[in-house]
Structure 1
Amino acid sequence: MQLALFPLSAHLLPGGIMPLRIFEPRYQRMIAQAGDLGFALCMVDPRQPDALRNMFPVATRVTIIDFDTLPDGLLGVTVQGIERVQIEDLWQAPDGLRSGEVTPLPAWPAHPLPPAQQPLADALRAVFADYPDYAALYQQPPWQDANWVAQRWLEVLPIPVAQKQLLLAASDNRAALTLLQRVLVANH
């Protein structure tokens, strides 16, 4: 499938919600053309010298769930992550908008959060309590969904981007949950 690519310095994963401020004409065009397929949020790879290809290969296809004109006159768009995708090829339009051929990656197998990993959900609840604007994006957080908890942590934890990419490319959430448990236990 072909999708427009929106590079960011942050990850958004399936089930995640993120508000965006759209001001460049190329990204206004991307929003106007998103349709039912949406577009892909891609993590910027600052190590890549080729400006066309300065994105990590695992991205997230997103859909627009809300939009509004912001107080500063810019377009505000809220997107939700749908699925992980692998960028296979990319190209750039004359206005600078990059698009790519992407392949959907299989969803992580769903399962409830094991009791031993419940502290991950509890710590995430504390993050939500500390950041009410972030928490407001999620009306009914699925605290017992292991994928959802792992993916929200991967979005917010400041771990190296290359390491996040390895976790995102995995076929399930086991490595992510193990790492998250180690990091959170070490910090508490």
Structure 2
Amino acid sequence: MVAQRISIFPLTGVILFPGLQVPLHIFEPRYRALVSDAMARDRQIGMIQPRGGGEPPPLFDMGCVGRIVDVEALEDGRYNLVLEGFARFRVLRELDVTTPFRQIEAELIEENEIDQALSSVERASLERESQRFANAQGYSVDWDSVARLDDRSLVNGIAQIAPFDAAAKQALLEAEGLKVRADLLVQLMQFFGRRDSDDPRVTLQ
């Protein structure tokens, strides 16, 4: 594992996984400064969830560092950007800095390439539960496109966009290995799927 200094964007309910992208609208001055700094250096930002309240709020132990792959600088100083995850990280300590944004020292987690595939039974179970969950929630999904995804993209993609609470999202991020994450996803969809949803119909594609 490799230790690295990471500038972080704490955001509740938003989880980034390696290989996936998340769009962000940056408007707070401290995070506009974060983006400016990242663009001048390595284009990297660490996404991590805060744990509870306070100022600054404490952080969960794990997040995911991403690289800015697309950015639009607006005239008023705001940014629209796309962040692509490339490695999970574990927080070692928070650094004492003068920047308006927080920075940490973290170790990057090397993913085990051997555990990046599901058995046909595990894949079928995940797809079946995903369809049940989507139908129960009133989501519209392009299942033909879903079927073409590799196992890693399928599992991490569902984990990233599913409307679970912050604690559940964090548990998915911290799950070690694709099989463990897929099993947890099935359990979470069964649990949350039993709830009645008053949310309007959304499209997940």
Bin for the TM-score computed over the shorter chain: 0.7 to 0.9
Which digits, 9 at most, give the CA deviation of each residue in 1:50-77, with x for residues without a partner? x335221101000000011459863111
Question: 8 Å contact 1:86–1:102 — kept in the other structure?
Answer: yes
Q: Aligned match of 2:109 in 105, 108, 119?
A: 105
Q: Which amino acid aligns with 1:55?
A: L
Question: Which whole-Å CA distance do the structure 1 matches of 2:163 and 2:26 have between them?
Answer: 24
> Is residue 146 of structure 1 aligned with residue 156 of structure 2?
no
Question: Which whole-Å CA distance do the structure 2 matches of 1:113 and 1:91 have between them?
Answer: 39
Q: Aligned match of 2:50 in 22, 31, 44?
A: 44
Question: Which whole-Å CA distance do the structure 1 matches of 2:77 and 2:56 have between them?
Answer: 29
Deviates more, 1:19-28 or 1:58-67: 19-28
> Is residue 86 of structure 1 aligned with residue 96 of structure 2?
no
Asked which structure has the greater CA Rg, the reply is 2
Gaps of 5+ in 1: 133-139
- Number of residue pairs matched by the alignment: 177
Q: TM-score, normalised by structure 1?
A: 0.76
Identity of aligned residues (%): 22
Q: Which amino acid aligns with 1:175?
A: V
Question: 8 Å contact 1:147–1:173 — kept in the other structure?
Answer: yes
Question: 8 Å contact 1:121–1:143 — kept in the other structure?
Answer: no
Question: 8 Å contact 2:33–2:100 — kept in the other structure?
Answer: no
Question: Which whole-Å CA distance do the structure 2 matches of 1:181 and 1:66 have between them?
Answer: 33
Q: Note the aligned Cα RMSD (angstroms).
A: 3.2
Question: Which whole-Å CA distance do the structure 1 matches of 2:181 and 2:48 have between them?
Answer: 19
Question: Which whole-Å CA distance do the structure 1 matches of 2:83 and 2:179 have between them?
Answer: 26
Mapping 1:1-188, distance limit 5 Å: 1-9=4-12, 10-34=14-38, 35-36=41-42, 38-46=44-52, 49=54, 51-69=55-73, 74-91=78-95, 93-109=97-113, 110-116=115-121, 117-118=123-124, 120-121=126-127, 123=130, 130=140, 143-184=148-189, 187=193
Q: Which amino acid aligns with 1:7?
A: P
Q: TM-score, normalised by structure 2?
A: 0.70
Question: Which whole-Å CA distance do the structure 1 matches of 2:146 and 2:141 have between them?
Answer: 14
